[in-house]
Amino acid sequence: MTFELPKPPVDDADPKALAAEILRSLRYRIGKDASVATQYDWLDAAIQVVRDRIIEHWISSTKQAYEEGAKRVYYLSLEFLIGRLMRDAFSNIGMLETMRKALAELKVDIDVIAALEPDAALGNGGLGRLAACFMESMATVGIPAHGYGIRYANGMFRQEISDGWQVELPETWLDHGNPWEFERRERAFGVGFGGSVESVTGEGGRLERHVWKPTDHVLAVAYDTPVVGWRGTHVNTLRLWSGMPVDPILLDRFNAGDHIGALAESNMADALSRVLYPADSHKAGQELRLKQEYFFSSASLQDILQRHISQYGDLSSLPDKAAIHMNDTHPAIAVPELMRLLMDVHVVDFDAAWDITKRTFAYTNHTLLPEALESWPVPLIDRLLPRHMQIIYAINAEVLLEARASHKFDDEGIRRISLINEDGERRVRMGNLAFAGSHSVNGVSGLHTDLMKATVFADLHRLYPDRINNKTNGITPRRWLIQCNPGLTGLVGKTIGEAFKDDITRLEDIDRFAADAAFREKFAAVKRQNKVRLANLVNERLGIKVDPSALFDVQIKRIHEYKRQLLNIVEAVALYDQIRSRPEKDWLPRVKFFGGKAAPSYHNAKMIIKLINDVAKVVNRDPAVRGLLKIVFMPNYNVSLAEVMIPAADLSEQISTAGMEASGTGNMKFALNGALTIGTLDGANVEIKDHVGAANIFIFGLTADEVAKRRAGGYDPRAVIEASPELSQALSAISSGVFSPDDPERYRDLINGIYDNDWFMVAGDFDAYAKAQRKVDALWRASPEWNAKAIHNVARMGWFSSDRTIREYARDIWNVPA
Ligand code: 26V
């Protein structure tokens, strides 16, 4: 018997009918009527109404993939930095404007309730946000895909600035419930830790297989969130695992008087999905982090295998029906876990299991920083995951056999290829493990991929020369243009028609309007509106008044020495010095915005935040500056703040030490929104320059090759500093306590790092950077030219859509239609 279910009842274009539906949702799902509804209730009710439509598409997308026997993509990531979902979902399904009107009928302001939605910060930075953009693009281009991760109860910490210092506070994004997620209690998998490995012998004492007997057990429970693509037709699933104890309390222990021990499993389960590690470069190192990695990898693989077997019966076809992608090495333990499941549970022999594994997995590398390359001590893996350690040894034996047979390596080469680093404490190199277990290993920009081949993976690349490939990152234009910049979206639509919304490369049609004075005026008016919005926010939050006609210069990203917020603030100090000493010059009004979080254990990054705030305090109050330079550190930078700051930027700071930023994706968001970039030839900046044209970007500084040469020897930062009076003065002002009279020694060590070593080439690039900034000033004065260049940037950034990136993954790595 089949039932015809009632579909969501009304015409989506009719605000009155939708308003009635919102009221019904409020009444029957939340149990309130309008007279007692809070703003949170309205938010919930509105989301539920749109969610119903999404669910229709979700179920049909899932069914269709099943019926077609389509190959599915599984994106394993410890981070999904999705931010707020309401506006995105409403906009993608084409209901944003009707919902605005429907809510207005009910005297509810959609912008007010939108601001109440918590920003789901289940990620640190670029890597996590990329995963979120990819999920949206996979839905948009219609690839059946599941994202797998952890449902952290506390995502990224909330940053407060107290007396200029970063303070970390827990963020509880689930406090008001989460209307987007569906708990799937029935979708729960056991995950074990510890214990020992037993051998099962068959006839004649022959070893048949190994059985791991863990001592500790937890359950991973699925929470599903629908991911809506553009136009809402295809909907995928983000499945996040939450830890649950197998038994809420171990009663036998409790009854024996061990009241604490009785809660051990419950506490472990809770800890697994409690916090996101708030470091994106520093060693996490802790046991809990490895447990999190295994917890979500194991649950995801069990889920994938169960789905595959129920549809296809056996696992030999897994590589044809499933592409499992590892977002960095964080899920690399999935490689030995799949091997274990195949060999020990599904009784596949090693060679066949290894073949299935390599054909199923692919791996993306997101950083070359040595301190961010994961490795785990052998004794730790041996204790937590003894069977996996055995399998890693077996894989290593296989890889080293192939390496020796190739005759390409001497003993040193073999040691570098080994999955085990034998220098000092023995550690498993997770990058080598992920590389060995994958048929594809990709970098995230052209330069980064070249450097991967030349540095960290040089030997593995020699052994497997077809494996490394490039997939330059992208960003979803739905969130990062259509949704966050309605002014520019509207102007573009009126000028060239709406087709660019379905094919973002059509933005090119706006290119010729750079020569049209009337269009440039309208473009500038949109930018100004966005700047006014930011100026109001700054005034509201910080009580700082900034002038929207000043140049808005923005650097927002994680605080890290290689990203060189220090170069930016040192240049600001030099500029401050010049404004004071030559007040008669017609200085250009500029506001320097900073935003970003420091890893809690990263001392120098925290000192840089304090320095920015110390400099701001002096500069912003100095009457001699006459408001010509303002410095603003925006606390708690997150996705939602990015959505306000990026459309308001005139100048985008992308100034990492060349060779160190794998790609950058903020750089793309700014250029798409009409900011000009000041940047080094690093990461995707190189490709941005190629696309927007060298005349429309401010490139400065040492290249990656030049940085490497200097580091190799003969670079003398002291000589460079002495040769630059502006730099010398700025550094000695900071170092001698001009900005920290309460503690004159505060920045001694930070600045000495530049004199003594200057690993990040702050001194090495200072003059080139300052010179580029004066070119920025000159162009800003010639405003029609500035606007023309900004329009060229918007027009030529379509290639950086994550739809393009995803289509490349689909074609070259996953072998799925897109
Ligand atoms: C490493 C670690 C080390 C252990 C502690 C926790 C933790 C968390 C994350 C990471 C890896 C971070 C790598 C990363 O975020 N890379 C960024 O990836 C972006 C997307 O590809 C890219 O645009 C940025 O340039 C790159 O820095």
83 lines ligand 1 (CB under 6 A): no
Residue type at 69 in one-letter notation: G
665 included as an active-site residue: yes
* Residues 665 and 133 sit within 8 Å (Cβ to Cβ): yes
- How many other CB atoms sit within 10 Å of the CB of residue 23? 18
Can you tell me which residue has the tokens 């605080």?
Answer: 559
For residue 10, is pLDDT > 60? Answer: no
292 lines ligand 1 (CB under 6 A): no
For residue 681, is pLDDT > 90? Answer: yes
pLDDT of residue 207: 83
pLDDT tens for each residue of 525-568: 999 999 999 999 999 999 999 999 999 999 999 999 999 999 99
From the list 467, 558, 610, 689, the catalytic residue is 558
How many DSSP H helices and E strands does the chain contain? 33, 24
* Residues 674 and 485 sit within 8 Å (Cβ to Cβ): no
662 lines ligand 1 (CB under 6 A): yes
Average pLDDT of the chain, as a whole number: 96
127 lines ligand 1 (CB under 6 A): yes
Distance 329 CA to ligand 1 centre (A): 10
328 lines ligand 1 (CB under 6 A): yes
Residue type at 371 in one-letter notation: E
Please state, for a pLDDT cut of 70, what percent of the chain lies above it: 98
3-state SS record for 570-611:
HHHHHHHHHHHHCCCCCCCCEEEEEECCCCCCCHHHHHHHHH
Query: Rounded distance, CA 712 to CA 731, Å?
Result: 25
Query: Rounded distance, CA 601 to CA 706, Å?
Result: 31
Q: Which atom of ligand 1 is nearest to the CA of 126?
A: 19
652-687 CB burial, b ≥16 within 10 A, e <16? bbbbbbbbbbbbbbbbbbbbbbbbbbbbbbbbbbbb
666 lines ligand 1 (CB under 6 A): no
pLDDT tens for each residue of 570-620: 999 999 999 999 999 989 999 999 999 999 999 999 999 999 999 999 999
Please state, for a pLDDT cut of 90, what percent of the chain lies above it: 94
pTM (predicted TM-score): 0.97
Q: Which atom of ligand 1 is nearest to the CA of 683?
A: 25
From the list 388, 478, 563, 691, the catalytic residue is 563
State the pLDDT confidence band at 6, using cuts at 50, 70 and 90. low
Compute the C-alpha angle 92/53/18, nearest 5°. Answer: 95
Compute the C-alpha angle 631/633/638, nearest 5°. Answer: 145
Distance 366 CA to ligand 1 centre (A): 6
Distance 504 CA to ligand 1 centre (A): 27
668 lines ligand 1 (CB under 6 A): no
pLDDT of residue 86: 97
Query: Rounded distance, CA 564 to CA 568, Å?
Result: 7
78 lines ligand 1 (CB under 6 A): no
557 included as an active-site residue: yes
Q: Given strand 420-421, what is the order of strands in its sheet?
A: 375-377, 427-429, 420-421
The dihedral sign for the CA sequence 674, 675, 679, 684: negative
376 lines ligand 1 (CB under 6 A): no
Residue range 33-46: mean pLDDT, rounded? 97
pLDDT tens for each residue of 80-119: 999 999 999 999 999 999 999 999 999 999 999 999 999 9
What residue owns the CA closest to ligand 1's atom 20? 127
279 lines ligand 1 (CB under 6 A): yes
124 lines ligand 1 (CB under 6 A): yes
pLDDT of residue 204: 86
558 included as an active-site residue: yes
Distance 183 CA to ligand 1 centre (A): 29
For residue 430, is pLDDT > 90? Answer: yes
Q: Which atom of ligand 1 is nearest to the CA of 664?
A: 23
From the list 51, 325, 630, 669, the catalytic residue is 669
pLDDT tens for each residue of 206-249: 888 999 999 999 999 999 999 999 999 899 999 999 999 998 88
Structure tokens at 350: 């090693």
664 lines ligand 1 (CB under 6 A): yes
pLDDT of residue 203: 85
To test ligand 1's pocket by mutation, which of 280, 561, 597, 800 has the most ligand atoms within 8 angstroms of CB?
Answer: 280
Q: Which atom of ligand 1 is nearest to the CA of 665?
A: 23
473 lines ligand 1 (CB under 6 A): yes
Nearest to 95 by CA among 19, 32, 33, 155: 19
Residue range 626-650: mean pLDDT, rounded? 97
Query: Rounded distance, CA 777 to CA 783, Å?
Result: 10
280-314 CB burial, b ≥16 within 10 A, e <16? bbbebbeebbbbbbbbbbbbbbbbbbebbeeeeee
Distance 367 CA to ligand 1 centre (A): 6
Distance 326 CA to ligand 1 centre (A): 13
Angle at which helix 386-406 crosses helix 350-360, to 10 degrees, equals 90
Residue range 400-409: mean pLDDT, rounded? 98
From the list 71, 158, 366, 592, the catalytic residue is 366
Can you tell me which residue has the tokens 């991973």?
Answer: 220
471 lines ligand 1 (CB under 6 A): no
pLDDT of residue 206: 86
Q: Which atom of ligand 1 is nearest to the CA of 328?
A: 11
* Residues 74 and 135 sit within 8 Å (Cβ to Cβ): no
Q: What is the dihedral of CA 345, 346, 347, 352, to 10 degrees?
A: -120
* Residues 127 and 328 sit within 8 Å (Cβ to Cβ): yes
Give me the phi and psi of 632, to 5 degrees please: -130, 120
Residue type at 276 in one-letter notation: L
For residue 282, is pLDDT > 70? Answer: no
To test ligand 1's pocket by mutation, which of 124, 475, 564 has the most ligand atoms within 8 angstroms of CB?
Answer: 124
Distance 127 CA to ligand 1 centre (A): 5
Query: Rounded distance, CA 78 to CA 374, Å?
Result: 13
DSSP calls for 701-732 = S--HHHHHHHHHTT--HHHHHHT-HHHHHHHH
431 lines ligand 1 (CB under 6 A): no
For residue 442, is pLDDT > 90? Answer: yes
Residue range 458-469: mean pLDDT, rounded? 98
- How many other CB atoms sit within 10 Å of the CB of residue 493? 15
563 included as an active-site residue: yes
To test ligand 1's pocket by mutation, which of 366, 441, 667 has the most ligand atoms within 8 angstroms of CB?
Answer: 366
Can you tell me which residue has the tokens 């680093």?
Answer: 421
Residue range 394-413: mean pLDDT, rounded? 98
Distance 566 CA to ligand 1 centre (A): 20
